[in-house]
Amino acid sequence: MAENKRKTYYITTPIYYPSDKLHIGHAYTTVAADSMARYKRMRGYDVWFLTGADEHGQKIERKAKSVGKTPKEYVDEIVAGFIHLWDKLQISNDDFIRTTEERHQRVVQNIFQKLYDNGDIYKSEYEGWYCTPCETFWTEKQLVDKCCPDCGRGVELLKEESYFFRMSKYQDRLLEHIKNNPDFIQPTSRMNEMISFIERGLEDLCVSRTTFKWGIPVPFDEKHVIYVWIDALTNYISALGYGSGDEKYEKYWPADLHLVGKDIMRFHTIIWPAILMAAGLELPKKVFGHGWLMLAEGKMSKSKGNVVDPLELIDKYGVDAIRYYLVREIPTGADGHYSEEALVERINTDLANDFGNLLSRTTAMINKFNGGLVPIPSEEEAIDSELREFARETVNNVENLMEDFELSNAVGEIWKLVNRTNKYIEETAPWTLARDPEKKSRLETVLYYMAEALRICTVMCTPFMPGLPPKVWKQLGIENNAEVHTWDSLQKWGALPSGARINRGEPLFPRIDLKKIDQQQDKRASKVEKDQKVQRAAHDNVLNLEEEITIEEFSKVDLRVAEVIKAEKVKNADKLLKLEVDLGAEKRTVVAGIAEYYKPEEMVGKKIVLVANLKPAKIRGITSQGMILAASKGDKLGVITLERDIPAGARVK
């Protein structure tokens, strides 16, 4: 019964596009939301924490095609990677919604129908700049030199039949709602941006497309698929089972917090509320737009080849350190800057030095000066009450900052207490007290206060670094005292049980050698630079040629005509085909990385060009006796074939 009375807290992350693997910027959003979800659970809320994947759309349809997969096969693989990453980052989500799930599609169609039935969706024509080879509409603003921003070719002004959502109708209601609920859009700077955007006038929104298929069909017009935002945004209620009688919807909607990046604020604070108003549903209580994690050279992006893989960092530095760094590095409302040096610096300073030293000094001194038992404190002196008071204020400040989603500052407050406690140790100098038997009870009080302040810091770290507290509890000998690990236990100074037996352990965060990291970084930077040079060259239409060679050097490469007589896929290797080729005088086996572009049966009978004197190499257990020639650019690849029928074995020069 008590369960039902608990206050609920529903928090969401954006649902990520499975067009590629996620990078450290995406990890930030989810870690931040997870920290909040864990915090609210500690505060006694009945929390529902949702994340997921936004799987439809033309980009994904194309990406899948380019690698020879169906869109579903493609997203299944990438989404499995999302789930693995969240697992490694210890994300405590209660559900994971995929827009390809039936439970989601049903709700999207239901909302679309509802809006159509009440006249908020109508059929009209969408006019835009169309790139025929890319089958994509662009707005005037998106064009680059009046050409397609993707392929650079010419575009034409075309009209397409589309459904539109009457967003303009909700403009005034929306403005009123935002102004009457100053908490709705946070931080305030983003609220002001949104207000001026709405005041410039809202246009109706194109919500269906006929130019691609990978989406949810419009329920009453199967020629159309529902375009992006009605599909994506509806996840927040479809995951709660809206319309299916699921009690989760009644219990958790409206959401307490949609956490999103600043780039998708407009969708969440304008389009989504307008859809909800049109459907007669309540609006979320708060949308918080966080800043971005930037690199020195700007945005992280796959095409620039500079994305930072969170899995690599977790393996290298541990999950708690990465979570700490992410939450600490992005200040509320502003962007943060990522560099591996800054990450290592944080680990060495905040975690190894400040926190690590507090733990190791506390446990070492209790061991040495009090036989390994947490002492009983006696009378308090001014310096002790000052520490106790500082701890009380810190808890208060952290609670207030968490309410405002000021995660970075909340962690900063905890570290003020860590450092205040380290200072307390310097000021009280327990090693001096230990030399004087008359100061025994004073020493006991000081040791107790150190340990209690450490306990308080650790409890407050729990939402941000869930792996940390159990290790500290073990060292303080209180792993079985769950009642002193809770947020409630922070209300009263002195919850740490005297008599607990210390178990000194390894340092929690060993220091990292920055020099080693620099060397690795240099290697990586030169690779990125080389990749960027090649990409720039491709973009600027210059041929970034290899160094010059002589005709003698070229003639060392023995190229021969070869006929493919057999082709099959290599087991457990998506990219490889095993070919059997005829060179006239002999037959050979060759492994080629072309399986994403050619089906085995397409290759049989082709006359291709083989580098016949290449040193054999073992690939997936198969000895490959040569290499076939192919040309590739971007996501296209073509094998070199002969224009006339020349016998197998003939030399190519």
Closest C-alpha to 241, from 515, 448, 48: 48
Q: Is 395 in the site for ligand MSP (CB under 6 A)?
A: no
**Rounded distance between C-alpha atoms, residue 529 and residue 648, angstroms:** 42
Within 222-261, which residues bind ligand MSP (CB under 6 A)?
A: 232-233, 235, 260-261
Pick the closer one to ligand MSP by CB: 54 or 444.
Answer: 54
CA 251 – CA 93 distance, rounded (Å): 17
Query: What's the closest the beta carbon of residue 232 comes to ligand MSP, in angstroms?
Result: 4
**Which residue's CB is nearer to ligand MSP, number 55 or number 444?**
55
Q: Whose Cβ is closer to ligand MSP: residue 101's or residue 386's? A: 101
Return the residues of window 295-334 that contact ligand MSP according to CB under 6 A: 300
Q: Is residue 468 close enough to count as binding ligand MSP by CB under 6 A? A: no
Interface with ligand MSP, residue 449, by CB under 6 A: no
Least distance CB 264 / ligand MSP (angstroms) = 5
Asked if 14 interacts with ligand MSP (CB under 6 A), we say yes
Smallest gap from Cβ 560 to ligand MSP, in A, equals: 47
Cα dist from 2 to 6, 39, 46, 282, 447, whole Å: 7, 20, 11, 26, 39
Q: How far is the CB of 592 from ligand MSP (least distance, A)?
A: 34
Q: Is 451 in the site for ligand MSP (CB under 6 A)?
A: no
CA nearest neighbour of 253 among 281, 289, 287: 281
* Residue from 9, 10, 17, 424 binding ligand MSP (CB under 6 A): 17
Q: How many residues bind ligand MSP (CB under 6 A)?
A: 19
| Of residues 97 and 461, the one with the C-beta less far from ligand MSP | 97
CA dist 586 and 507 (Å) reads: 64
Query: Does position 389 bind ligand MSP by CB under 6 A?
Result: no
Does residue 112 interact with ligand MSP by CB under 6 A?
no
Token code pair at residue 34: 């997870």
Structure tokens at 311: 């899995």
Among 264, 265, 446, 461, binds ligand MSP (CB under 6 A): 264
Burial class (CB in 10 A: 0-12, 13-18, 19+), 177: middle
462 near ligand MSP, judged by CB under 6 A? no
Q: Which is nearer to ligand MSP, 262 or 439 (CB)?
A: 262
Instruction: For residue 15, state whether it binds ligand MSP (rule: CB under 6 A).
Output: yes
Of 238, 290, 235, 282, which Cα lies nearest the Cα of 259? 290
Closer Cβ to ligand MSP, 107 or 264, answer by number: 264
Q: What are phi and psi of 604, to 5 degrees?
A: -65, 130
Applying CB under 6 A, which of residues 9, 10, 11, 29 lies at the interface with ligand MSP? 29
Q: Measure CA of the first residue to CA of the last residue in the chain; give whole Å.
A: 84
Cβ burial 52-88 (10 Å sphere, 16+ → b, else e): bbbbbbbbbbbbbeeeebebeebbbebbeebeebbee
Residue number closest to ligand MSP, CB atom: 261
* Distant-in-sequence, close-in-space partners of 400: CB < 8 Å, separation ≥ 6: none
Pick the closer one to ligand MSP by CB: 324 or 355.
324
Whether the bond between 14 and the residue before it is cis, its omega within 30 degrees of 0, is no
211, with CB counted inside 10 A (0-12, 13-18, 19+), is: middle
Considering the rule CB under 6 A, would residue 52 count as an interface residue with ligand MSP? no
Smallest distance from ligand MSP to CB 210, Å: 22
- Sequence-separated contacts (24+) of 334-340 with Cβ below 8 Å: 334/291, 335/291, 335/292, 335/293, 335/294, 336/28, 336/291, 336/292, 336/293, 336/294, 337/293, 337/294, 337/295, 337/296, 338/24, 338/293, 338/294, 338/295, 338/300, 338/308, 339/295, 339/296, 340/517, 340/521
Identify which range of 12-20, 415-423, 435-443, 543-551 contacts ligand MSP by CB under 6 A: 12-20
C-beta closer to ligand MSP: residue 14 or 469: 14
Amino acid in position 39: Y
Q: Do 551 and 574 form a contact (C-beta atoms < 8 A)?
A: no
Which amino acid, 478? I
> How far apart (Å, rounded) are the C-alpha atoms in residues 33 and 649?
63
Please report how close the Cβ of residue 596 comes to ligand MSP at its closest, in angstroms. 23
Stretch that binds ligand MSP, among 9-17, 431-439, 486-494, 511-519 (CB under 6 A): 9-17
CA dihedral 395, 400, 402, 404 (to 10 degrees): -170
Chosen residue from 135, 263, 393, 483 binding ligand MSP by CB under 6 A: 263
- Decide whether 235 or 394 has the Cβ nearer to ligand MSP: 235
Nearer to ligand MSP by Cβ, of 104 and 248: the residue is 104
Question: CA-CA distance, 37 to 9, in Å (whole number)?
Answer: 8
Check residue 98 for interaction with ligand MSP (CB under 6 A): no
Output the smallest distance, CB 363 to ligand MSP, in A: 37
| Residue 109 or 363 with smaller CB distance to ligand MSP | 109
Stretch that binds ligand MSP, among 11-19, 317-325, 424-432, 539-547 (CB under 6 A): 11-19
Smallest gap, in angstroms, from Cβ of residue 461 to ligand MSP? 22
Cα 48–Cα 51–Cα 52 angle in degrees, nearest 5: 140
Which of 307, 592 has the CB closer to ligand MSP? 307
To ligand MSP, the closest distance from the beta carbon of 2 in angstroms equals: 34
User: Which residue, 228 or 583, is less far from ligand MSP as judged by CB?
Assistant: 228
CB of residue 189 vs ligand MSP: minimum separation in angstroms? 16
Taking CB under 6 A as the rule, does residue 95 contact ligand MSP? no
SS3 638: strand
Distance, in Å, from the CA atom of 223 to the CA atom of 493, rounded to the nearest integer, reads: 66
Give yes or no for residue 216 binding ligand MSP (CB under 6 A). Answer: no
Helix boundaries (H) for 2-57: 2-5, 24-42
Task: Say how far apart CA 325 and CA 304 lie, in whole Å.
Answer: 24
Binding status of residue 26 toward ligand MSP by CB under 6 A: yes
Decide: 10 and 256 in contact? Cβ < 8 Å: yes
Does 54 engage in binding with ligand MSP (CB under 6 A)?
yes
In the bound state with ligand MSP, the residue whose beta carbon lies nearer, of 85 and 233, is 233
Distance separating alpha carbons of residues 648 and 626, to the nearest angstrom: 15
CB of 298 to ligand MSP, least distance (A): 10
User: According to CB under 6 A, which one of 9, 11, 25, 218 is a site residue for ligand MSP?
Assistant: 25
Taking the least distance from each CB to ligand MSP, the nearer of 28 and 49 is 28
Site for ligand MSP in 279-298 (CB under 6 A): 292-293
How far is residue 424 from each of residues 233, 373, 455, 496, 559, measured CA to CA in Å? Answer: 51, 20, 15, 18, 77
Task: List interacting residues with ligand MSP (CB under 6 A).
Answer: 14-17, 25-26, 28-29, 54, 232-233, 235, 260-261, 263-264, 292-293, 300
